[in-house]
Structure 1
Amino acid sequence: MTINVFISYDYTSDKEYASLLKAWAENDAEHFKNINFIDGSSDFSRESTKVNAFKNSISRRMNACDKILVLVGKETYKSDWCKWEIKKAEELELDFAAVNIEHANASPISLYGKGVKRARSFTEAAIESVLT
């Protein structure tokens, strides 16, 4: 059974980690053989005036998912988009997981009380353990 996982992250600061995660998934059958990552980024600019179109695009992607994985970077706790994605994931009753890119990074407050399975390091094994 394949698990569809929506990746939420601060686009400005952490897109390279989302790209790395997707590359691992494409090339590492040992850790991610039954996991399909769905990126939160879209064809719309995050500064776009078409906010509703952007939210609809993200919502469609999230609707196809079983879980949300929040990449907790240095700026994630300030990201309005991450806050919105977390709220949307709760509405869709997705399971929550998070991984700290660096151990000391602060989680968004909106993650608290969600029963988040948390990986404390950005490694394939740690991420796999919170998603399976």
Structure 2
Amino acid sequence: MAKPKVFVSYDHSEDAHYKRLLQAWDANPDFDFEFDSRGPDVAINSTDAAVVKARLTTLMKAATHLLVLVGEKSHTSKWMKWEVDRAKESDVNLKLAAVKLNKFNLTPAGLLNVGTSWATSFERDRIVDALKQAKVGH
């Protein structure tokens, strides 16, 4: 079975440390997934956002899963909201998985009531399990 191709959505200003951990895990040939995570560095409402959205959509269409790293500010991130909403659209249709980086972090609304698979903690095996259980969100 092919390794899942995972697009990672996270707050680039707050949670980049966790993305780096995923990259380190991904360097291990025994790890169960690979991912793209090139983040936007423009405001979602700027004139340059259309180019970023097109690039992110291309990456998402090449993926099989969306993994959302739910940080302290994720529920207010307009880019993360856009990524989650885009992942659920019929031309993308990604399987949804998420992990709260702290149990008190608020869940972004787009992950609620759509069958999101949750990792119980930010540990490699828990994330791999969540990805294996993930289903397309609607």
TM-score for the superposition, normalised by structure 2: 0.86
**97 and 40 in structure 1: CA distance in 2 versus 1, 3 angstrom threshold:** farther
CA–CA separation in structure 2 for the residues paired with 1:124 and 1:46: 30
- Comparing 103-112 with 80-89, greater Cα deviation is found at 103-112
Distance apart, 1:3 and its partner CA: 0.9
TM-score for the superposition, normalised by structure 1: 0.90
8 A contact 1:72–1:100 mirrored in 2: yes
**54 and 112 in structure 1: CA distance in 2 versus 1, 3 angstrom threshold:** same
Identify unmatched segments of 5+ residues in structure 1: none
User: Which residue does the alignment assign to 2:78?
Assistant: 80
| 4+ residue runs over 4 A deviation | none
CA–CA separation in structure 2 for the residues paired with 1:79 and 1:105: 13
- Comparing 6-15 with 48-57, greater Cα deviation is found at 48-57
1:1-132 to structure 2, matched below 5 A, reads: 1-27=2-28, 29=30, 32-33=31-32, 35-42=33-40, 45-47=41-43, 49-91=47-89, 92-132=92-132
CA–CA separation in structure 2 for the residues paired with 1:130 and 1:3: 12
Q: Percent identity?
A: 35
Q: Which amino acid aligns with 2:37?
A: D
Report the count of equivalent residues. Answer: 127
CA RMSD, 1 decimal = 1.4
Distance apart, 1:110 and its partner CA: 1.2
Identify unmatched segments of 5+ residues in structure 2: 133-138
Give the number of the structure whose residues are more often helix, by fraction: 1
- Comparing 48-57 with 79-88, greater Cα deviation is found at 48-57
